[in-house]
Amino acid sequence: MKPFTYERPESAADAVRAVATKPGAKFIAGGTNLLDLMKLEVETPTHLVDVNRLPLGEVADTSDGGLRIGALVRNSDLAAHPRVRRDYGVLSRALLAGASGQLRNKATTAGNLLQRTRCYYFYDVTKPCNKRDPGSGCSAIGGFNRIHAILGGSDDCIATHPSDMAVAMRALDARVETIRPDGSAETVPLAEFYRLPGSTPSEENALRPGQMIVAVTLPPPPAGVQIYRKVRDRASYAFALVSVAAIVQTVGGRMRSARLAFGGVAPKPWRVPAAEVVLDGAPAGTPAFGAAADAALQGGRGCGHNDFKLPLLKRTLTAVLATATRTT
């Protein structure tokens, strides 16, 4: 690990100022991903700004009936929060599907959104990677790419975003509250928070240097059944090959206002409005489910080892929708 200096500011204003003014500075919260990457010298900050003692650890009801989740709320606390369990079950399930009990006790809401890809070439500093070392090339394209993206990738990067939490939040239309180094606030819909890799895979999100997430807000809970299903290589403690977050209302055997988001398949939580439109008003059944999957996979393509994700996504979505629309 490269040497670094460390500070623990008492206010958010001091924290953003510290990162904005010190070259090579980074925020650290839970640290479960950043320290892992620092040990491998994939990340080499020269200064760490520890935000753990800032007052950003609250979960509070909003005036419109939604929920405001502080940036430092730990994943385990959020998953166990009574309102999340009651009204945002897809989020609780997604959080509990991620990592381990120990990691969830440390990992934060903001840190989960900002975690880096688990592409093995990104982690291996001896290999070219456009995300880690812009312009060096992509080792996954033409390499071993079983875990990589089938949607949203580019000729320069096919890494996936690893979060489960963010997939559920995408289906819930979450918004990301931030503060800028000058102290002003900016709120970005999660739909616009992540960038596709294009020719600049190292630029992953809308945050500018020194800008810090302070909270994530959820609108009032949507009507319908909420499901998060994750398919992976072992039953627990593994990243998703494919995951589906679904919120579906069924009235008289017909689906209404379906929301679908996908994980493990793209550089960001993937949501396709056309797939939801296909379901709106359609009778619950295999034809509609299959049409939605085809719409979700529009433009999708495998790179060889990950070709299996195309049919896997279709089957997983079909199974999720069958469960969601089953009359009880």
Pick the stretch among 5-13, 55-63, 213-221, 305-313 that binds other proteins (CB under 8 A): 5-13
Q: Are strands 67-70 and 47-50 parallel, antiparallel or unpaired?
A: unpaired
Residue 52 as a binder of other proteins (CB under 8 A): the answer is yes
Which residue in the set 9, 12, 20, 50 belongs to the binding site for other proteins (CB under 8 A)?
50
- Both structure tokens of 200: 């600049």
Taking CB under 8 A as the binding criterion, the range among 44-52, 149-157, 240-248, 269-277 that sits at the site for other proteins is: 44-52
- Nearest distance in Å: CB 119, other proteins: 16
Q: To the nearest 10°, the Cα dihedral for 209, 210, 215, 219?
A: -30
Dmax over CA atoms of the chain, in Å, equals 63
3-state SS of 271-319 is CCHHHHHHHCCCECCHHHHHHHHHHHCCCCCCCCCCCCHHHHHHHHHHH
Give dist(CA 58, CA 80) in Å, integer.
13
Q: Per CB under 8 A, which region of 76-84, 108-116, 180-188, 254-262 contacts other proteins?
A: 76-84
From candidates 18, 19, 32, 240, binder to other proteins by CB under 8 A: 32
Stretch that binds other proteins, among 23-31, 252-260, 287-295, 306-314 (CB under 8 A): 23-31
Q: Facing residues of 307 across strands?
A: none
CA atoms lying within 13 Å on the CB side of residue 174: 27
Stretch that binds other proteins, among 102-110, 144-152, 200-208, 210-218 (CB under 8 A): 102-110
Q: Which of 13, 20, 35, 319 binds other proteins (CB under 8 A)?
A: 35
How far apart are CB 216 and other proteins at their closest, in Å? 19
| Shortest distance in whole angstroms from residue 55 CB to other proteins | 17
Residue 327 Cβ vs other proteins, minimum distance, rounded to whole Å: 19
Kind plus residue range of the DSSP H or E element containing 18: helix 12-21
DSSP assignment, residue 247?
A: E
Closer CB to other proteins, 185 or 235, in the complex: 235
55, HSE (Cβ side, Cα atoms, 13 Å): 4
Contacts of 78 (CB under 8 A, 6+ apart): 59, 69, 84, 91, 92, 95, 109, 165
Q: Smallest distance, Å, CB 83 to other proteins?
A: 11
Residues found near other proteins in the complex (CB under 8 A)? 1, 3-6, 8, 28, 30-32, 35-36, 39, 48, 50, 52, 76, 79-80, 85-86, 89, 92-93, 96-97, 99-103, 105-106, 235-237
